């Protein structure tokens, strides 16, 4: 996972003790270094104590941030004293950076409230936020109104903010590869390319016939095919799978890899049901699983918004995401359900996994044409779920996210499957149905729903329901 770099603004106001700004700068840079983040900040050679107090200071800070614009993932504003609200707002505005902003204020000690060490950051934070609101600059708040940069809670807030930055900046420049047409029976995965494009999310398309044609031109002895075949057999148990089917998968993987590289794509959504099986003779599941496992999410049925949902959580957490169906009730327990796919789930979310044939499609196209699925039980653990959708009627993007636990409750079935327990699940399901969301949902073994909701609601202005 990429190491975040933060632009740091140390707020200062001259008629408060400016030595607090001097020490405050040292403290926050030290904390961020301990947390393994890079920083860009004015030095004491640039301004008094490397702080921002005036318009001139703000201009210097903005120039520094512009120079490092390609590095800076987010801006952290620290207020060791009241701070100059206009200086902070001007520095951010003039930098031209469109990145998340975190506002932190140091607490006062009631025992030391004399003029020489009184901070008033409590009040200054309100003024800074007021100005940022006037300037139209969105921002994120710490858990508590004032908290020390030396505290554990601030460290939690910085790590949370880093996840918000990764989601926001990552999605804003995402390039999605849509391979094939949406299966006609899957109206649920319809989406608007134009709405996504407006948010900086580009979709590149290619027809399955082109993919199949490129696969046909590849020799089974091609070095890239041989290498991919080796990768497949090392990735998953392939006992009982015909060599001819594995070779087809390898060719498909080589072609997709090449196309993604040529088009600088981040993630994919691939047509499966049932063109792959009928006209190519395998399922793409294992190749898709391998991509998702390497943090390159791949969603089936050309579910572009499903792939984006997977990617948001992968950006936040740095671990693989999967796309599943909200599939079955679990007996009479209203807070439990079965999450299932055929499946292309990444290896890291399984207890054990092996390659098999796709039992559902096999009934119509024959077992021999459906090898390639990844089957097994989804492992026990806490997880986050997310779904993005384009509301084409309103011309907006909406989403929901939340957290639950995959359990080890008994379940004997096929595909990739697990039992999920989610508090107040009926409320969530009512929301999904009432608001017209898809039956696909992305899952990720992390606790990242609040960071995702913060990024979606605050920095994209997507209406996002947080189920907690």
What's the CATH number where 250 sits?
3.40.275.10
444 plus 340 within the same structural domain: yes
Is the CB of residue 225 less than 8 Å from the CB of residue 252?
Answer: no
């950076």: which residue's tokens? 97
Print the domain residue range for 29. Answer: 5-171
| Spatial separation of the C-alpha atoms in residues 213 and 273, rounded to whole Å | 19
Is the CB of residue 25 less than 8 Å from the CB of residue 50?
Answer: yes
Residue after which a domain boundary falls, among 133, 149, 171: 171
pLDDT per residue as tens, the chain (468 positions): 778 999 999 999 877 777 899 999 999 999 999 999 999 999 999 999 999 999 999 999 999 999 999 999 999 999 999 999 999 999 999 999 999 999 999 999 888 777 667 889 999 999 999 999 999 999 999 999 999 999 999 999 999 999 999 999 999 999 999 999 998 889 999 999 999 999 999 999 999 999 999 999 999 999 999 999 999 999 999 999 999 999 999 999 999 999 999 999 999 999 998 899 999 999 999 999 999 999 999 999 999 999 999 999 999 999 999 999 999 999 999 999 999 999 999 999 999 999 999 998 888 899 999 999 999 999 999 999 999 999 999 999 999 999 999 999 999 999 999 999 999 999 999 999 999 999 999 999 999 999 999 999 999 999 999 999
200 plus 132 within the same structural domain: no
The pLDDT value recorded for residue 117 is: 76
149 plus 240 within the same structural domain: no
The pLDDT value recorded for residue 364 is: 87
203 plus 343 within the same structural domain: yes
204 plus 162 within the same structural domain: no
Q: Which helix (H) or strand (E) holds 31?
A: helix 19-34
The pLDDT value recorded for residue 95 is: 98
pTM value surpassing 0.95: yes
17 plus 131 within the same structural domain: yes
184 plus 285 within the same structural domain: yes
Residue after which a domain boundary falls, among 130, 150, 171: 171
Of 263, 300, 296, 303, the residue nearest 284 (C-alpha): 300
What CATH number does residue 29 fall under?
3.40.50.10940
- What is the DSSP secondary structure assignment for residue 367, as one 8-state letter? G
317 plus 330 within the same structural domain: yes
Residue after which a domain boundary falls, among 142, 171, 200: 171
451 plus 463 within the same structural domain: yes
Burial of 340 (0-12, 13-18, 19+ CB in 10 A): buried
166 plus 179 within the same structural domain: no
334 plus 427 within the same structural domain: yes
Quick one: how far is CA 110 from the chain centroid?
41
The pLDDT value recorded for residue 153 is: 98
- What is the DSSP secondary structure assignment for residue 376, as one 8-state letter? E
Rounded to 5 degrees, φ, ψ at 159 are -65, -40
163 plus 201 within the same structural domain: no
The number of folded domains in the chain is 2
């Amino acid at each position: 996972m990429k190491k975040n770099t933060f632009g740091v603004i140390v707020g200062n106001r001259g008629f408060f003790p400016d030595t607090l700004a001097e020490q405050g700068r040292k403290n926050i840079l030290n904390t961020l270094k301990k947390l393994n983040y890079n920083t860009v900040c004015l030095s004491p050679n640039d301004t008094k104590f490397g702080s921002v107090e005036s318009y001139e200071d703000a201009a210097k800070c903005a120039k520094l941030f512009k120079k490092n614009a390609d590095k800076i993932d987010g801006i952290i504003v620290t207020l060791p004293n009241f701070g100059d609200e206009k200086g902070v707002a001007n520095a951010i505005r003039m930098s031209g950076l469109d990145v998340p902003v975190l506002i932190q204020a140091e607490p006062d000690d009631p025992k030391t409230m004399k003029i020489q060490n009184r901070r008033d950051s409590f009040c200054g934070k309100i003024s800074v936020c007021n100005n940022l609101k006037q300037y139209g600059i969105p921002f994120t708040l710490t858990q508590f109104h004032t908290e020390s940069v030396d505290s554990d809670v601030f460290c939690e807030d910085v790590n949370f903010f880093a996840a918000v930055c990764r989601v926001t900046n990552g999605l804003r420049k995402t390039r999605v590869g849509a391979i094939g047409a949406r299966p006609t029976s899957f109206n649920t995965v319809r989406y608007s390319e134009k709405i996504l494009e407006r948010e900086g999310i580009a979709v590149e398309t290619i027809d399955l016939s082109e993919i199949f044609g490129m696969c046909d031109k590849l020799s089974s002895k091609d070095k890239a095919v041989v290498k991919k075949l080796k990768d497949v057999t090392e990735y998953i148990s392939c006992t009982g799978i015909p060599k001819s089917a594995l070779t087809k998968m390898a060719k498909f993987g080589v072609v997709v890899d090449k196309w993604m590289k040529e088009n600088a794509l981040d993630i994919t959504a691939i047509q499966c049901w049932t063109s792959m099986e009928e006209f190519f003779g395998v399922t793409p599941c294992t190749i898709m699983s391998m991509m998702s496992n390497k943090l390159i999410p791949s969603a089936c049925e050309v579910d572009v918004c499903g792939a984006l949902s997977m990617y948001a959580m992968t950006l936040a957490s740095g671990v693989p995401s999967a796309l599943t169906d909200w599939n079955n009730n679990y007996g009479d327990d209203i807070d439990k359900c079965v999450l299932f796919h055929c499946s292309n789930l990444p290896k890291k979310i399984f207890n054990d996994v092996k390659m098999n044939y796709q039992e559902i499609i096999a009934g119509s196209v024959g077992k021999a044409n459906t090898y390639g699925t990844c089957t097994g039980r989804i492992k026990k653990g806490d997880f986050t779920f997310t779904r993005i959708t384009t509301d084409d009627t309103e011309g907006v993007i909406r989403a929901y996210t939340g957290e639950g636990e995959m359990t080890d409750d008994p379940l004997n079935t096929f595909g990739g499957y697990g039992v999920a327990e989610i508090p107040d699940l009926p409320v969530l399901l009512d929301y999904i149905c009432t608001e017209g969301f898809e039956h696909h949902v992305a899952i990720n073994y992390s606790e990242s729903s609040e960071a995702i909701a913060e990024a979606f609601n605050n920095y994209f202005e997507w209406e996002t329901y947080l189920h907690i």
